[in-house]
Amino acid sequence: MKRLLIALGLSAAATAALAAPPKPLFADDQPIHITIKGPISRFASSEDRKNTFPATITSGTDNLPAQLSPRGITRLRKDTCDFPPMRVDFTGNPPATSIFAGQNRLKLVTHCQSNPGFQQYVLLEYATYRLYNLLSPMSFRVRLAQVDYVEDSGKTGTSRLGFFIEDLGDVAHRNEMKEAQVGARIPVANLNPSDAARFAVFQYMISNLDWAMQAGPEGDACCHNSRLISASAAPPWTTVPYDFDYSGLVDAPYAAPPEGISVSSVKMRRYRGFCRHNAEALKAAADIRAQKAAMMAVFTQIPQLAESTRKKATAFLDRSFNDIATDDAVTKNLLKTCVN
């Protein structure tokens, strides 16, 4: 029944109640406090950033063995981040009593630079995931973490906020769906129209152009900063977005518009949804309008988000609500640049 309701394009409010609960790590929004002990300096300074490093993740009384590996694309480069994003692979099954119960492999978004100001970019990207959670249960849950980094020698290093991102398999499982197995490029006709339209309207609102629903980067699998899930092995596929650091809402200092798109700044909005989904885009915009108060409230719930950052972010997002205030506004401001 749930699969049928999702396929019929019911609102997020209707489908959210039907989604299975997430695993313990993502069942709560309260920040957790963990320690990662290992060769932290070597992890950050690894020449090719392709190595893996043994470490221990401590949470409460749990000491969990793991392997750490740098990850990412832009943030993997040393000229962008002193400290790259991290992939955590647990080398044993965390106990049932652990906050990490049921987890095998996780992405951890880190602070990128030692400059304390970079914490605000982490928090804004975390908030962006939370915004999309309000619109659909077919989205990546996130969990904020205060991470103490400790060297093998026991020397205490830095302590910074980061956040874990739910595994795609778990997103699919709690929605009674599966990860889609696709090639490098897929036809637009294989996308669920309602989900694709919601995806595109949301990306417009946060002013993010760094994504593709149809294909991945050259030489990579589909899709760019999005993943596909479906109720079966066959289409239609739901596209689930991630990586929002290139959005105007986050406004990271290294963010720039993708090549081939004629905007001069990541803060310039441009709609890139498909024209065949215009009717669904109007419905998606109406659903998002109904969530405005809840979406704005997210920014008041983020610990350590500076008041100046909150005001700037909410003002930026509020302007996008003006752009979708009515169906006529959506047609004028968004659909005129839809992609055929």
User: What is the reported pLDDT for 183?
Assistant: 86
pLDDT at 220: 82
Residue 121 lies in a domain: no
Q: How far apart are CA 2 and CA 14, in angstroms?
A: 10
Q: Is residue 131 in some structural domain?
A: no
Q: Where a domain ends, among 149, 168, 187?
A: 168
Domain assignment of residue 48, given as a range: 24-110+139-168
Note whether 200 and 273 are within 8 A (CB). Answer: yes
Instruction: Tell me: do 47 and 88 sit in the same domain.
Output: yes
Q: What pTM value is reported for the model?
A: 0.93
The one-letter amino acid at 212:
A
**Which pLDDT value is given to residue 21?**
87
Q: Could you tell me the pLDDT band of residue 158, with boundaries at 50, 70 and 90?
A: very high
Let me know whether 215 and 331 are in one domain: yes
| Cα–Cα distance measured from residue 325 to residue 151, given in angstroms and rounded to the nearest whole number | 52
Which two structure tokens, joined as six digits, stand for 108? Answer: 């951890």
What is the C-alpha separation between 178 and 225, in angstroms, rounded? 18
pLDDT the model gives residue 79: 87
Task: Give the pLDDT score at 3.
Answer: 47
The CATH number of whichever domain residue 182 belongs to comes to: 1.10.1070
3-state class of 284 per DSSP? Answer: helix
Answer whether residue 99 shows pLDDT above 50. yes
Q: Is residue 67 part of a domain?
A: yes
Q: Please determine, for residue 266, whether its predicted confidence score (pLDDT) is greater than 50.
A: yes
Number of domains present in the structure of the chain: 2
Confidence of residue 276 (pLDDT cuts 50, 70, 90): very high
Cα 227 from Cα 243, distance rounded (Å) = 11
**Does the pLDDT value for residue 15 go beyond 70?**
no
Residue 81 lies in a domain: yes
Question: Is the pLDDT at 18 greater than 70, yes or no?
Answer: no
pLDDT at position 164 over 60? yes
pLDDT band at 260 (very low <50, low <70, confident <90, very high): confident
Query: Do 288 and 328 fall into the same domain?
Result: yes
Mean pLDDT, residues 297-311:
97
The answer to whether 31 touches 144, Cβ cutoff 8 Å, is yes
In a domain? residue 314: yes
Q: Which of these ranges, 25-34, 48-57, 118-127, 266-275, has the smallest mean pLDDT?
A: 48-57
Q: How high is the pLDDT of residue 7? A: 43
Is residue 73 one of the residues assigned to a domain?
yes
Q: What percent of the chain has pLDDT over 70?
A: 95
CA distance 231 to 237: 8
What's the pLDDT at 275? 98
Q: Are residues 236 and 329 in the same domain?
A: yes
Tell me, what's the pLDDT at 1? 43
* Residue 208 burial (C-beta neighbours within 10 Å; 0-12, 13-18, 19+): buried
Average pLDDT over residues 106-132: 96
pLDDT higher than 90, residue 148: yes
Answer whether residue 19 is part of any domain: no
What local confidence, expressed as pLDDT, does residue 13 receive? Answer: 47
> Is the pLDDT at 17 greater than 60, yes or no?
no
Same domain, 210 and 234: yes
The verdict on 220 and 150 lying in the same domain is no
Same domain (yes/no): 161, 36: yes
> At residue 73, does pLDDT exceed 50?
yes
Q: Do 96 and 202 belong together in one domain?
A: no
pLDDT of residue 184: 86
144 or 77: whose pLDDT is higher?
144
Looking at every residue in the chain, the average pLDDT score rounds to 93
Is the same domain home to 163 and 248? no
pLDDT at 211: 97
As a whole number of angstroms, the distance between CA 17 and CA 13 comes to 7
With respect to residue 149, please indicate whether it lies within any of the assigned structural domains: yes
| Contacts of 90-95 spanning 24+ positions with Cβ under 8 A | 90/57, 90/64, 90/65, 90/66, 91/54, 91/65, 91/66, 91/67, 92/64, 92/65, 94/62, 94/64, 95/62
Question: Does one domain contain both 151 and 254?
Answer: no
pLDDT at 136: 98
Q: Is the pLDDT of residue 154 over 70?
A: yes
Are 203 and 283 in the same domain? yes
Q: Indicate whether 259 and 322 sit together in one domain.
A: yes
Q: Residue 302's pLDDT is what?
A: 97
